[in-house]
Structure formats: C-alpha cells, structure tokens
A and B are shown apart, each in its own frame.
Chain A
Amino acid sequence: MSTAETGSNRVKRGLAEMLKGGVIMDVVTPEQARIAEDAGAVAVMALERVPADIRSQGGVARMSDPDLIDAIKAEVSIPVMAKARIGHFVEAQVLEALDVDYIDESEVLSPADYVNHIDKWKFTTPFVCGATNLGEALRRINEGAAMIRSKGEAGTGDVSEATKHIRKISSEINVLRSMTKDELYVAAKELQAPYELVAEIAETGKLPVVLFVAGGVATPADAAMMMQLGADGVFVGSGIFKSGNPADRAAAIVKATTFYDDAKIVADVSRGLGEAMVGINVADLAAPHRLAERGW
C-alpha cells in the first residue's frame, strides 16, 4: 500500500462533490450552527456578521475571530467553512491552521489585495471562490479553487443577481460547446482564461469543479429555481437568520433544494414560514455598494 496523500486536487474537489444537492448556511454563533445542522445543512459558513449586517454596519469586514470558528466547529459535526478576504493569504493560512474544512476567498469581506487573488494551490485546505461569469470562474480554478459559487449580491435577499450569474455561466458554457478548436483559442483570450481549461469545458460541457449559487437566496422557491437553472447546490447567507423563523425556513430550503423539480413539495414547504428577510432591491444599490463587483 502506498502512503496517504492529503490535499490533492481530487481530495479537495471531492469534498465539494459530496456537498452537492445540499444547502450551506451562514451562521454567526454556535447556536445558529446547531439550528442549521438540525435543519439539514450540509455545511455551515462561520462568520462574525452575515452579509446583510456587513452591508448595513459598514466598515472593513475581515476574517472571523478564531474563538468563534473554534466554538462553531465544536458545536457541529458537518463541515465548517470560513471566509478570508480576497488576496489575504495570511488569513487563509490562519484558517488552514484552524482546520476549517473549506476556505471561502470572499468578496463579502473587504478585499486585502486589489490585484492578486490567493495562490490557492499552496494550501491543503480547499477553497471556494465567487464568480459572476465563466472567465472569472476559470481564473479562480486556475489559481487552485476547488469549488465555485456564483456571487449573486450577498445580503440583499434579492435573487436577481444570482439568477443573472448562473445564467451567464451556463450560457457561456453552451457557447463554448458549439465552437471549433480555432475559435476556442480566441474564446480563451476573450474569457481571459487558460486555453486548456476552456478546451476542457468545451468538451465536457461543465466546470471541472462543483458550482453552487449564492447571494440573495431567501426562500424555498429561490433555492429550487437556482437548482433548476443548473446549480449543484445553494449557499444561503442572511436569508435564514434574518427571517422571522430561521429553523423552519432553513429546513424548508433544504427540502426545496432536494425536490427542486417538484412544485407541490416546494409549495408545501413554503407554507407558514413567517416573514422572509426584508431585503434590498439590487437596483436600489449604488454601484460602490455592490459586493459582486469585488474580485476580477
């Protein structure tokens, strides 16, 4: 028997494969993490503030306190993810030392580097990164991301940007599939992505890593719509713990994600959930306040 190899591409991408068809929930306390696990979350994202609060309180948003991450890890047995600022490779090193299961290099936090993202190949811990289009997704994969989430517009409860990003990625993949080899060289240039990755996607018709949707999902129907649009799973941030009845809403979103193509079940689980998060229309957000525009 050969020796065991940790941190391989297959092992890193593999965890995301196991999360498919599931819901990853933002939590800011161990109590919320417990509610999320009990409701059927496949993983939790440990944060100090959910995006809606980052948005309303302003200021620089950074990696969470290690004590909070440890407390959430101690509370639940499902995977625990945590966010590092874009380009902040030392926050990522700290999260790796804390033994989190996935690192989210996230536009929801304030960027630490406006030029470079983290070189994610250097880490044993896998990374998930946001993308608004195929080129951005491929640049992150080229830097070592083992999972992609479309960005949407976090902390709004408005699903329209999430819809835009998953549709964009999907249609760009479809365009690649219909191209000849000589066209793919130009496509790679235009997508600002490596030719090898572009050619692979033209062949397989899908990203080489799992693709979740994030940013503005607030209801069971939102989650089911993202799944019907081709997502492998959903992140729900502010949508659960900024709503009137987090435990029931969380469980309902889990069920709607599994039975995304069964409108009767989506209808049933949508009953009596109380107030959804109030939300902000993305159209009312001035451009500098749009988080999806962070990262490049």
Chain B
Amino acid sequence: MTSLHAGAPGQDAGDGPVVGILALQGDFREHARVLDGLGARVRLVRRPEDLDGIGGIVLPGGESSVMDKLARTFGLFEPLRERLRAGLPAYGTCAGLILLADEIEDGIAGQQTFGGLDVVVRRNAFGAQNQSFETDLDIPELGETPVHAVFIRGPVVESVGPDARVLAALDDGRVVAVEQGNLLGTAFHPEITGEHRFHEYFLDTVRAAA
C-alpha cells in the first residue's frame, strides 16, 4: 500500500551500526537511503521506545517547529534530550541543526530545542524560498573536493560558543556547519545531493562512540 513512498530501506538488517532517524516529519527517507547505502542499520524513530539500542541519531530536514511539537506531544522530547546529553552521536541537517542548537532566534512562540551544540542558530536566515540556493563549499575535513550544498529556507549559525567548532562557512563568513563532541550540524542538505561524506563522517563518530 505504500508503493509511492520512496524506497524505505529494510530496517535493522545486516551488521552495521544501528542508526535512528527522527521520522516525525521531513526528508527522513532521503537520510535512510544514504545511511542504508553506507551499511548502517536504519531505524525510524517516532516513539520513545524506538530510541532503545540505537548508536546514533539523524535529525532530518523539515519543519523544526513541527518536529519539536510532535516530539513533545508523544513523549520523545525528554528521553532524546537525555540521550544526547549522555553522548549519543547525532547529525542534524537544516531543521535538525536547529533542534541541536542550544539557542535559536526567530523560532515560533514556545519553540524548544534538544540542544547540545554551543551555538545560536537563526531559523529561515536567508528569507523566503526565492532566496534558497545551491553552492559549493570547501570543507578540508572532508577532502579536497568541494561539498555541493543545497540550502532550502535554511538556517545559519549566528554565533559559535567556545565548545563548538566551525566546519564550513559561506564566502561572506556566515557559518553553516559545526561540530561539538559527538554532535554534527549542517544548515544544508547533503542527503538530497548524493553527497555522502558527512554521513560517513557521522558514522565514524557512531562507531567510535560504540
């Protein structure tokens, strides 16, 4: 009955690391396809019990305010926040970066984040969809080939605290990728461009934390 849904991978098959993907809303299937292709065992996470046994979690692109609201309504917010605090590796793209930020600007009234990244992130920082864009970014940590980055009503990192490290910035200096400990966040969407290096980088973190 779900033939129109883009091929969701078989869950928990194989012997790679078990990686959860927050699947309340957004482009979680695109992340699932990338992670599946890299040999991870993918688990879609919508309920607190889905967190059991995962070695890391991806927070996908989508609408951050909706994911926040649903996570709180269905009792997922606190357990996930606790696991992130206890060191669960996480990678957030776009809305996922917002959810990992300690502080946000231009959120909707009452919007909360899991936090963990010592940064301030501004939601919809580039404006309306007409200002959405794609470009190449130099990210030495990922090798010489530039990363092709797609920004869709994306956020930017407005300020970076002492505990977080900048991985990528636009020509004008605005920060668009950061990491801190086991947490990684990008304002853009490698999952929709065939760029796998961020996911590989994240899976290395997951394996190291296991």
Measured CB to CB, the residues of A under 8 A from B are 1-8, 10-12, 14-15, 17-22, 37-38, 40-43, 73, 76-79, 96, 99-102, 124-126, 166, 169-170, 173-174, 205-207, 211, 228-232, 254-255, 258-259
Q: Does any Cβ of A come within 8 Å of B192's Cβ?
A: yes
On whether the beta carbons of B46 and A230 are closer than 8 Å, the reply is no
CB distance from A191 to the nearest CB of B (A): 17
- List chain B residues, Cβ under 8 A from A7: 130
Residue B208 is within 8 A (CB to CB) of chain A in the complex? no
Task: State the Cβ distance, A236 to closest chain B Cβ, in Å.
Answer: 14
Q: Is B159 an interface residue (CB 8 A)?
A: no
> Of B1, B135, B146, B151, which one neighbours A230 at CB under 8 angstroms?
B1
Is B3 among interface residues, defined by CB-CB distance under 8 A? yes
A-B contacts, 15 listed (Cβ < 8 Å): A1-B137, A1-B138, A3-B135, A4-B135, A5-B133, A11-B151, A15-B153, A19-B63, A38-B109, A42-B62, A77-B108, A170-B4, A206-B5, A259-B46, A259-B74
A42 CB to closest chain B CB (Å) equals 5
Nearest-CB residue, chain B, relative to A174: B3
User: Within the assembled complex, what's the spacing in Å between the Cα atoms of A15 and B63?
Assistant: 10
Cβ contact of B70, chosen from A40, A77, A96, A170, cutoff 8 A: A40
Nearest-Cβ distance from residue B127 to partner chain A, whole angstroms? 7
Interface residues of B in 62-80 (CB under 8 A from A): 62-63, 65-66, 69-70, 73-74
CB of B115 within 8 Å of the partner chain:
no
Q: How far is the CA of A100 from the CA of B153 in the complex (A)?
A: 12
Residues of chain B touching chain A, judged by Cβ–Cβ distance below 8 Å, are: 1-7, 23-30, 46, 61-63, 65-66, 69-70, 73-74, 94-95, 106-109, 123-124, 127-138, 146, 150-153, 170-171, 189, 192-193
Residues of A near B26 (CB, < 8 A) are: 18, 20-22
Q: What separation, in Å, do the CA atoms of A17 and B6 have in the docked complex?
A: 11
Q: What residues of chain A lie closer than 8 Å to B5, measured between beta carbons?
A: 206, 230, 232
Q: How far is the CA of A9 from the CA of B73 in the complex (A)?
A: 35
Chain A CB count within 10 A is highest, among B26, B66, B124, for: B66
In the assembly, what is the distance between CA of A77 and CA of B127, in Å?
10
Given contacts A14-B152, A42-B25, contact A255 B73 (CB under 8 A): yes
> Contacts A5-B134, A11-B133, A21-B62: A79 and B69 contacting too (C-beta < 8 A)?
no
Of all chain A residues, the one with the shortest Cβ separation from B94 is: A18
CA distance A259 to B70 in the complex (A): 10
Cross-interface CB contact of A18 among B3, B61, B107, cutoff 8 Å: B61
